[in-house]
């Protein structure tokens, strides 16, 4: 494991891990500005430890209720930072329609083309299959 961190407050939590060209996020509860600010710092720290080259992002948000408006705005900036650092694809497992809509807005606001339904899956395995195909395609372009 190259990077691993967990943060929580009384409303929610997240774990963030990077290994094997995959940044994995697990989120639960409600995310406010305090956790969003910590998440931004942790993503920036993780990105410094990521080797150069393409990588993929998996967000396991089953159990996430959503973000406050200010937290959503912060996460948009975090998403832009990740894109600029070599993220070639993202995929999610999201149960909450509210959280799904918010992630769709975050992606669009960060400049990611496509609707959330194109990268939202019922199982982590299906999401990782999708991501691995995208990573393989990106790696074949750099070879």
Q: Read off the tokens for 52.
A: 């150069």
What's the pLDDT tens digit per position in 45-86?
999 988 889 999 999 999 999 999 999 999 999 999 999 999
Within-domain flag for 44: yes
Within-domain flag for 29: yes
Within-domain flag for 27: yes
| Domains identified in the chain, total number | 1
The whole-number pLDDT of residue 17 equals 96
CATH of residue 44? 3.30.750.24
Note the pTM of the prediction, 2 decimals.
Answer: 0.94
Instruction: Report the percent of the chain where pLDDT is more than 90.
Output: 90
Within-domain flag for 143: no
Within-domain flag for 60: yes
The whole-number pLDDT of residue 1 equals 78
Within-domain flag for 67: yes
Residue 133 has pLDDT above 90, yes or no: yes
Q: Which domain holds residue 74?
A: 3-138
Averaged over 34-41, what is the pLDDT? 95
Within-domain flag for 113: yes
Averaged over 1-14, what is the pLDDT? 95
Identify whether the C-beta of residue 35 lies closer than 8 Å to the C-beta of residue 14.
yes
């Amino acid at each position: 494991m190259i990077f691993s961190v967990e943060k929580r407050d009384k409303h929610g939590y997240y774990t963030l891990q990077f290994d094997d060209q995959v940044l994995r996020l697990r989120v639960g509860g409600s995310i406010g500005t305090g956790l969003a600010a910590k998440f931004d710092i942790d993503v920036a720290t993780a990105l410094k430890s990521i080797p150069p080259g393409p990588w993929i992002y998996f967000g396991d948000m089953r159990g996430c209720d959503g973000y406050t408006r200010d937290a959503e705005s912060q996460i948009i900036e975090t998403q832009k930072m990740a894109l600029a650092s070599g993220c070639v694809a993202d995929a999610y497992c999201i149960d909450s329609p509210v959280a799904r809509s918010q992630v769709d807005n975050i992606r669009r606001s960060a400049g990611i083309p496509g609707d959330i339904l194109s990268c939202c899956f019922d199982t982590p395995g299906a999401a990782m299959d999708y991501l691995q195909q995208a990573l393989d395609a990106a790696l074949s372009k750099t070879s």
